[in-house]
Amino acid sequence: MKKLILTIAILHLLTSALFSMRFYYKKNKALTYLEETILNQKIYRDKKLFLKTKIKSILKVKQYKISGDERYFKGTIEYHIPDGDGEFSKKTQRNISFSRNKLGSIILKKGSKFFPRRNLPKFLNKNIRINKSWSAPVYERFNLTPLGIRKEIEISAKVTYRYIRDQELDGYHVAVIFYFYSFNKKIKNKQQTTVKGTVIGLLFWNKENQSPYRFSESFNISFKTDDSRSLRSDGYAEKSVYIITTKEKKKFKLRKAIQKSLDKNQNLRISKKGVVLNLKNILFDTDKSVIKKEYIIKLKKVSDFLKKRKDLKIRIEGHTDNLGELKYNTDLSYRRATAVYNYFTKIKKIPSSRITYNGWGPRKPIASNFSKEGRRKNRRVEIIFLLK
């Protein structure tokens, strides 16, 4: 029983409010919101290893409503401790009902039982550069029943973020953000308790739909009372967040079809518009807009796919890095997009009504132009398969 009580308490501790945010949902009956968490931890009681365990949980939200600054959710939580006992020794599912306030703090409905609670982060609205840092308030809530403290306590701290790079992840364009915070505070109860903690992690922010996608973190949190009782937890957590709409499902289905028709190693990602095929800069010689003969086969596969999928339209976009004059780069990117357009319409006889094209020069980078590798990624031609 003590093991179960402590497990619940530590779960509550580690999955409580970490970030401040505002999280907005568009009214969409087909929307499904998922949080998947894997937590590995070691728990020490009075400096001795008390419990070593792995917890998996999945939160599914299917109904919600918006009222002012409050967001109300209903769904299910499924959790599993493979080496646990009692009800935690197998997969357990419960109905849950909760709300988020404007800061992102989760509020459980009165009488609700345990489920993993964690506030989600908010990426800055304004355009920030790589290596830019900023901070935001963070609130931790703890249930210290195992130490004889019945009242839930809350402490505040400040989390520091640093935008370190861009990358592709599972077909999405994400920003990789490092975060860190620590706290060392004394809480007055019947027994004064010193609470210390350090959390270090990486957040992967989906830049396409402006929402958190995944994060991983390590933590070390300890408690010590005046009469020398102590509790400490060390561990590692991974969390994935999915906001799935009917349109998103269609995009993944289309991406799979494109991969099947083209080489599996093609650089495909999901965007707001549809599925993006990144042809990088391999189609052209430096400063040229004539397609290299050895890469015609790549475009032929695309045209064959378009002939099979007559329901699809595409948009061709040319891009460059920011070296050189803006006018020259814009013109070069336009001529390259035009060359691909002409191949499809004049040689492969794809109706021009199905294709649009443009050249953006350096205006739409997907990586930082401050590095050689970033500039290389920005020099590209993209074919966007559009969904109706």
What pLDDT does 109 receive?
A: 64
18-32, 147-161, 258-272: least confident range: 18-32
More confident residue, 346 or 28: 346
Instruction: List the structure tokens of 41.
Output: 């931890």
What is the pTM for the complete model shown? 0.63
Q: Express as a percent the part of the chain with pLDDT over 70.
A: 72
CATH class for domain 2-244? mainly beta
Per-residue confidence at 5, pLDDT binned at 50, 70, 90? very low
Whether the predicted pLDDT of 305 surpasses 90 = yes
Tell me the per-residue pLDDT of 268-299, one tens digit each, with 9 for 90 and over. Answer: 887 778 889 988 766 777 788 888 887 888 89
**Paired strand residues for 78:** 58, 93
Q: Is the pLDDT of residue 361 over 80?
A: yes
Digit-coded pLDDT (tens) for 11-26:
444 444 333 333 334 4
- Grade residue 94 by pLDDT with cuts at 50, 70 and 90: confident
**Which residue shows structure tokens 């306590």?**
153
CB 344 within 8 A of CB 315: no
Domain residue ranges of the chain, discontinuous segments joined by +: 2-244, 247-386
The CA distance from 122 to 139, in Å, is 14
Q: What's the average model confidence in pLDDT over 173-177?
A: 86
* CA atoms of 268 and 263, how far apart (whole Å): 11
Per-residue pLDDT, averaged over 201-218, amounts to 82
As a CATH number, domain 247-386 is 3.30.1330.60
**Residues 251, 387 contacting (CB under 8 angstroms):** yes
Q: What pLDDT, on a 0 to 100 scale, did the predictor assign at position 372?
A: 85
Specify the higher pLDDT residue, 194 or 246. Answer: 194
Number of H helices, E strands in the chain: 5, 16
- List the one residue out of 309, 226, 230, 217 whose CA is nearest residue 262: 309
84 with 273: CB under 8 angstroms? no
Residues 33-47 have pLDDT tens digits of: 677 888 888 888 888
Q: What is the band of 143 on the pLDDT scale with cuts at 50, 70, 90?
A: low
Under the banding of pLDDT at 50, 70 and 90, the label for residue 28 is very low
Tell me the average pLDDT across 102-126. Answer: 54
Better pLDDT: 385 or 366: 385
**Which residues, listed in sequence order, are joined to residue 333 by a DSSP beta bridge?**
none
In this predicted structure, which of 28-32, 165-169, 200-204, 384-388 has the lowest mean pLDDT? Answer: 28-32
**Predicted local distance difference test score (pLDDT) of residue 345:** 94
Q: Which pLDDT does position 61 carry in this prediction? A: 73
